[in-house]
Structure 1
Amino acid sequence: MQLPDDPETPLQINIVPMIDVVFAVLAFFILSSLFLTRNEGLPVALPGAETAEAQAQRQVVVTLNAAGELFVGSQSVGDGQLLEAIQTLGTLADGGLVVIRADQSVSHGRVVEVMDRLRSLPGVQLAIATEGNQP
């Protein structure tokens, strides 16, 4: 008994699943790199400074927007609640840093008033955020 000859189909490499995997990995890295950027908090127009330096230690960000409103992180606080809001974060126990991000249109007196309140915290270090001038 003779079996019919099966015509051999030529071998093919299907690369469509490989392309799908490559695009999925690419999308993962693109999306994950978006979350690696540092979120500084609320958008304010910071003044420029040629000698601006990046701070690497743990920090609390206090923001003063153009209207003079006060924020700790992204939470709105009143003047009387500023110290309580920072103390509840608990990051200043071992010499943490408070970064003041004040809009350039906020009066100097308002910034000094906030700094004066913050200096009443024991062991606090203050910094003022600026935009570094890019060459």
Structure 2
Amino acid sequence: MRSRNSQDRSSKVPQVNLTPMLDVLMSVLTFFIILSMSLTGQGIFDVDLPKVKDGTGAGGEGAEKPEAIERFVLGLNRDGAIIYQNEAIEPEDAIARLQTFLAEHPDGTVTLNADRTLDYAQVDRLLQLLQENGETEVSLVIE
């Protein structure tokens, strides 16, 4: 004959507290989300991009996600220096690199990250230089 206490102990199912495990999982997930967001864009240092007031531009809601295409990214910092891969380069060097890029990637895009404090005339001079040397479509990057 079994005592009543032994039946109560054997019939209980062990319980596991999942809260600490979920806390750890959420922390790891948050870390990877932040890491992936910081690695997706190609930034140019020392360039303060203009801001957008509303999200209704070409990249807003309802816009198709573009396929992965090769990009040639130039920057124009507040001093008017041309930046390529975080190095200041001369305009002639920028044109040579652009022409090499276009020869290797005819469907690639050219983007310009221009500091928001620049005079538009400085940005326009670089756009004209790029246009004179073969690139007719340059995307201006905003934040």
Q: Establish whether TM, by shorter chain, passes 0.5.
A: yes
Counting aligned pairs with the same residue, the percent is 12
Given the two structures, how large is their TM-score scaled by the length of structure 1?
A: 0.64
Q: Distance in 1 between matches of 2:135 and 2:122?
A: 22
Tell me which residue corresponds to 1:44. Answer: 48
Instruction: Give 1:63 shift.
Output: 1.4
Verify: 1:77 aligned to 2:78, yes or no. Answer: no
Tell me which residue corresponds to 2:105. Answer: 93
Instruction: Give 1:120 shift.
Output: 4.2
After TM superposition, list the pairs within 5 Å mapping 1:5-20 onto structure 2.
10=9, 12-15=14-17, 18-20=18-20
Query: What secondary structure, in the 3-state scheme, does the structure 2 residue paired with 1:36 have?
Result: helix
Structure 1: stretches of 5+ with no match in the other structure: 1-6
Q: For the Cα contact (< 8 Å) 2:49–2:141, is it kept in 1?
A: no
Q: Distance in 1 between matches of 2:103 and 2:30?
A: 31
Q: Distance in 1 between matches of 2:125 and 2:139?
A: 14
Tell me which residue corresponds to 1:32. Answer: 32
Amino acid at match of 1:127: S
Moved more, 71-80 or 86-95: 86-95
Structure 2: stretches of 5+ with no match in the other structure: 60-64
RMSD: 3.5
Instruction: Give 1:73 shift.
Output: 4.1
Assess, with a 3 A threshold, how the Cα gap between structure 1 residues 25 and 66 changes in structure 2: closer, same or farther.
Answer: same
Which structure has more strand as a fraction of its residues? 1
Query: What secondary structure, in the 3-state scheme, does the structure 2 residue paired with 1:115 have?
Result: helix
Given the two structures, how large is their TM-score scaled by the length of structure 2?
A: 0.61
Tell me which residue corresponds to 1:128. Answer: 140
Tell me which residue corresponds to 2:117. Answer: 105
* Count, aligned residues: 124
